[in-house]
Amino acid sequence: MTVAVIQFPGSNCEAETLDALTSLGIPNELISWTNDGDIGHYSGFILPGGFSFQDRIRAGVIAAKLPIIKRLKHASATQQIPIMGICNGAQILVESGLFSTDDSMTDIIDLNYVNDHAIGFMCDWGFLTPFNAQQNVFLRQLNDTDVFPIQICHAEGRFLSKNPPISGLRYCRFDGKTDDSFPITPNGAPLGTAAISNAAGNVLAIMPHPERSIIPERVPLSIRHVIQSYGLKLANIQTLFKAFSS
Amino acid sequence: MILYTTLKQNDLSAVTAEQLFRHFSDQHHGIRRIRRYTKYTITGTFSSAMLFSKISNSHIFHNPNKHVLITDPQSFPLKTAYFCVSRKSPLNLTSKVTAVQKLLEKNDTIESVFESDIWGFDTDSPIDPASFITDALISSPDSIAPFAHPHIHDVTHLSHDDIAHSILQLMAQ
């Protein structure tokens, strides 16, 4: 069962995403946004990070309107295929209306805005913890008390939703305590939301980068010192990808 | 004070939007060409004439290599339909506020700089603004419209007169 990683003009994280899947023993294939063949045989999809269509008009909106996304939405609705959108991939999925709970667009990922300032692009490491983990296929190997470090790298990562998400990930301190103020939540996202699930639980839009964070040696020394000093038992971020191999 | 800028070269966001309608939608809405302008609304206590003169000589709102700081209403073609996409909760561009404040005299102050997009549509035939906003501008799960997200944006139709009036008012000061 093969996972398809969809490449758009301007995607730049597809190689890392493919490498992450390969390192976890998950068969994978890179497909183009122009693919008009059958996609029903793939066991899952990842939309990788980057700047599809240069973020023209709004990050992810152009890619979200393309035929391949329509077909992805159909596969999601009819087969509940696992779909993960990472960073720009998350923006594309949100702009496609996959998370909408009615006929209108109920969710958007807006630009980073903290204390009345647009803070621009940020690249750092932080911690995430799940909420209602059992309600999403990518999170159900985790408990709501789990914590893991992850790389954050975006200028537009602030989830805004008409309704609170049913499941997802939140920014937290190293000890798992959630805090929606800066710097724990680095982008001003209400409730410290870092990832959201759709209602059916088969789609996850995650703004930080799990594909960059699965190799323990990539975790910065400063974070590893915190982990060691406090004797923290952190969750294994690799479990996020287990949905693709089950 | 209201300023308008536009790109000297083809606006790639507008070009991409045209291609989206042309190649990936059954409904073109008669769109032949899309244009994009940026509108800045500056509030505070200052002389508009003085500030405009200083802004014209600065790079705060326009890079002269790339942008036109619009001073002539003819930059907005007459037969184009214009729509302003603005944020429901405007975000104050604090870096621009700081930059503009440095241009001002001692007793003058800048309170806010807000940015919005103006999209212009050249169409085969006259459009009904209200239905055009719903069908071609506001994003929804089932439409190809990309310009405005209903959760954070408002869309208003602007007549050419509205735009021309604000430009001429600024130039007259």
Rg of chain B taking only CA atoms, in angstroms: 17
Sort out which chain A residues have CB atoms less than 8 A from B20's CB and list them: 62, 65
Q: Are strands A28-32 and A3-7 parallel, antiparallel or unpaired?
A: parallel
Residues A120-130 pLDDT 10s: 999 999 999 99
Confidence band for B171, pLDDT divided at 50, 70 and 90: confident
Residue B46, Cβ density class (10 Å: 0-12 exposed, 13-18 middle, ≥19 buried)? buried
Residues B45-77 pLDDT 10s: 999 999 999 999 999 999 999 999 999 999 999
**Rounded CA separation B77/A10 (Å):** 33
The confidence score (pLDDT) of residue A116 equals 86
- Rounded mean pLDDT, A82-88: 98
Q: Do B150 and A104 touch (CB under 8 A)?
A: yes
- Rounded mean pLDDT, B129-156: 95
Torsion of CA A71, A72, A78, A83, to 10 degrees: 170
Active site residues of A: 87, 209, 211
Q: Does residue A246 surpass a pLDDT of 80?
A: no
The confidence score (pLDDT) of residue A22 equals 96
Residues A175-216 pLDDT 10s: 999 999 999 999 999 999 999 999 999 999 999 999 999 988
Counting Cα atoms < 13 Å in the Cβ hemisphere of A186 gives 21
CB nearest to B152's CB, from A61, A118, A160: A160
Give SS3 for A186. coil
**Rounded CA separation B142/A96 (Å):** 8
**Rounded CA separation A151/A161 (Å):** 23
The confidence score (pLDDT) of residue A14 equals 97
Percent of all residues in chain B with a pLDDT value above 90, rounded to a whole number: 88
Write out the two tokens for B84. Answer: 């302003």
Question: For residue A201, what are the CA distances in angstroms to A135, A157, B134?
Answer: 6, 21, 30
The confidence score (pLDDT) of residue A1 equals 87
- Closest CA in chain B for residue A108: B151
Q: Are strands A203-206 and A83-86 parallel, antiparallel or unpaired?
A: parallel
Sequence length of chain A is: 246
Q: Do A57 and B17 touch (CB under 8 A)?
A: yes
Q: Which of residues 152-171 of A touch B (CB under 8 A)?
A: 160, 162
Report which secondary-structure segment, H or E, holds B122: strand B109-123
Q: Do B151 and A162 touch (CB under 8 A)?
A: yes
- Rounded mean pLDDT, A92-114: 93
Residue B107, Cβ density class (10 Å: 0-12 exposed, 13-18 middle, ≥19 buried)? exposed
Contacts of A79 (CB under 8 A, 6+ apart): A40
The confidence score (pLDDT) of residue A103 equals 84
Residue type, B91: L
Helices marked H in B39-123: 48-56, 94-101
The confidence score (pLDDT) of residue B90 equals 92
| Mean of all residue pLDDT scores within chain A | 95
Contacts of B91 (CB under 8 A, 6+ apart): A111, A113, A118, B114, B115
The confidence score (pLDDT) of residue B109 equals 93
CB contacts < 8 A, A to B, total: 65
Q: Do A108 and B151 touch (CB under 8 A)?
A: yes
The confidence score (pLDDT) of residue B133 equals 96
The confidence score (pLDDT) of residue A56 equals 97
Write out the two tokens for B147. Answer: 């310009």
The confidence score (pLDDT) of residue A210 equals 97
Confidence band for B173, pLDDT divided at 50, 70 and 90: confident
Give SS3 for A145. coil
Residues B92-109 pLDDT 10s: 999 999 999 998 888 899
The confidence score (pLDDT) of residue A139 equals 97
Question: For residue B122, what are the CA distances in angstroms to A30, A106, B43, B126, B149?
Answer: 39, 30, 32, 9, 22
**Rounded CA separation A109/A85 (Å):** 12
Give SS3 for A142. coil
Residues A122-158 pLDDT 10s: 999 999 999 999 999 999 999 999 999 999 999 999 9
Confidence band for A8, pLDDT divided at 50, 70 and 90: very high
User: Touching check for A54 and chain B: CB below 8 Å?
Assistant: yes
Q: Does residue A233 surpass a pLDDT of 80?
A: yes
Q: Do A103 and B140 touch (CB under 8 A)?
A: yes
The confidence score (pLDDT) of residue B172 equals 85
**Assembly ipTM:** 0.93
CB nearest to A65's CB, from B20, B94, B150: B20
